[in-house]
Amino acid sequence: MIDLNTKLLHENEMEEAAALIRAGEPVGMPTETVYGLACDAGNPEAVRKVFAAKGRPADNPLIVHIADIADWAPLVTEIPPLAQALAEKFWPGPLTIILPRSGRIPAITAGGLDSVGIRFPAHPVSQALIQASGVPLAAPSGNRSGSPSPTTSAHMLADMDGRIPAILEGGSCACGVESTVIALDDEKTVRVLRPGFVTPEQLGTVAENVIVDPAVLAQISADTVVRSPGMKYKHYAPNAQVTLVQGGQAEFLHFMEQHNTQGAAALVFDADVPLCQAKGIRCHAYGDTDEARAAAFFAALREADAEGVRHLYVRAPRTDGVGLAVYNRLIRAAGYDVVTAE
Ligand code: TXA
Ligand code: MG
């Protein structure tokens, strides 16, 4: 029986969370990237509940989470040496590897694709839940479809209260941006479908070639066939209109002076704050390094809504390293409204 309100469970209530999973219910789960909405990956009825709670399109596949590197073999039809080498280097951690799925993964979990993305998360609470449940866990990010991903249990509760039985508490997510999703083009080549904390540069220490899929930085129309269905959907968007502003500090400040209407606010680097304040521009900072910005930007998008911001102008991060992951999410949050300040 599902209570009307979603229960917050603590780590010492792991068995209660695992019992819900085994009973085919979805449970909120912290990971080092973002909170996920976990369920038994092999139970189509449980997976259906996850899609329903999120309002997620049925063709957008779920990532399957394991807690031991040996546990991916039964879930896929083959593990090429490059995939094994990547898993050994980056797991547990924020990397999802797509391989052909075995019969253990139902079609609904894979969004109807013949492949499955596998990830071994680093967060001790997600590892404990997978172990206690005794099954691989399918888990998309724990937000309502289209909204910013949750990096705290409070964010997840705001989206999911009354829609799922429970969320496991696990603090703030250290990475703050979802896992890097990769496919293998051939035995030497990795294709990055979604950038994350494991960067193309790091993947290049294991793979001979690393291709960043063009969809990472470009707009994909809804009728395009893409390698990763998530690339084409509206994503990460707060209620506020978002514009991503490229350019240096001086150019950004000049742009903001021209766009400083009522309801406008800026999301900037830490060093920009005093200069914005001196010009009477309402602003919040989201960090001074790529990693800090990754950990902060989803919360900042939610805060803008809480404060009634109508138009949020975001100073664009870099497009290399972890910055690429933040940039990839922000262009989608902005509905591809990207301008260059001069
Ligand atoms: O860090 C993460 O990956 C988090 C945590 C909870 O683990 N999960 C997450 O899941 O971000 P989700 O469902 O919000 O995003 C998964 C992305 C989607 O863009 C989806 O299209 C893509 O991965 N994906 C999953 N399986 C795929 C597959 N078999 N082929 C291509 N793309 C896939
Ligand atoms: Mg998501």
Ligand 1 contact via 96 beta carbon (within 6 Å): yes
Encode pLDDT of 148-185 as tens digits: 999 999 999 999 999 999 999 999 999 999 999 999 99
Domains of the chain, earliest start first: 7-216 (3.90.870.10), 241-340 (3.40.50.11030)
Q: Which pLDDT belongs to residue 72?
A: 97
Which atom, in ligand 1's list, is nearest to the CA of 141?
14
CA of 140 to the centre of ligand 1 (A): 6
Q: Catalogue the long-range contacts made by 86-90 (C-beta closer than 8 Å, 24 or more residues apart).
A: 86/182, 86/190, 86/203, 86/206, 86/207, 87/120, 89/205, 89/206, 90/198, 90/202, 90/206
Q: Which pLDDT belongs to residue 227?
A: 78
Q: Which pLDDT belongs to residue 274?
A: 97
d(CA 162, CA 335): 29
Provide DSSP, 80-127: -HHHHHHHHHH-SSSEEEEEEB-TTS-TTTTTT-SEEEEE----HHHH
CA of 212 to the centre of ligand 2 (A): 19
Q: Decide: residue 258, CB within 10 A, 0-12 exposed, 13-18 middle, 19+ buried.
A: exposed
Considering the chain, what percentage of its residues have pLDDT values greater than 90? 92
Encode pLDDT of 20-36 as tens digits: 999 999 999 999 999 99
Q: Which pLDDT belongs to residue 4?
A: 62
- Tokens representing 36? 């996920």
| Whether the predicted pLDDT of 56 surpasses 90 | yes
Ligand 1 contact via 143 beta carbon (within 6 Å): no
Query: ω before 92 within 30° of 0 (cis)?
Result: yes
Within 165-265, residue ranges assigned H as helices are 200-203, 249-258
Ligand 1 contact via 216 beta carbon (within 6 Å): no
Ligand 1 contact via 179 beta carbon (within 6 Å): yes
d(CA 67, CA 73): 13
Q: If you take atom 30 of ligand 1, which residue's CA is the nearest one?
A: 228
| Whether the predicted pLDDT of 210 surpasses 90 | yes
Stretch (H or E) spanning 242: strand 241-246
Q: Answer for the pair 279, 327: CB distance below 8 angstroms, yes or no.
A: no
229 — pLDDT class (breaks 50, 70, 90):
confident
Q: Which pLDDT belongs to residue 98?
A: 98
Q: Answer for the pair 130, 136: CB distance below 8 angstroms, yes or no.
A: yes
Between 222 and 7, the higher pLDDT residue = 7
**Mean of the pLDDT values across residues 238-247?**
95
pTM (whole model) above 0.75: yes
Q: Which pLDDT belongs to residue 1?
A: 47
Mean pLDDT value across the chain: 95
| Whether the predicted pLDDT of 306 surpasses 50 | yes
**CB crowding 308-336: b at 16 or more within 10 Å, else e:** ebebbbbbbbebebbbbbbbbbbbbbbee
Encode pLDDT of 94-146 as tens digits: 999 999 999 999 999 999 999 999 999 999 999 999 999 999 999 999 999 99
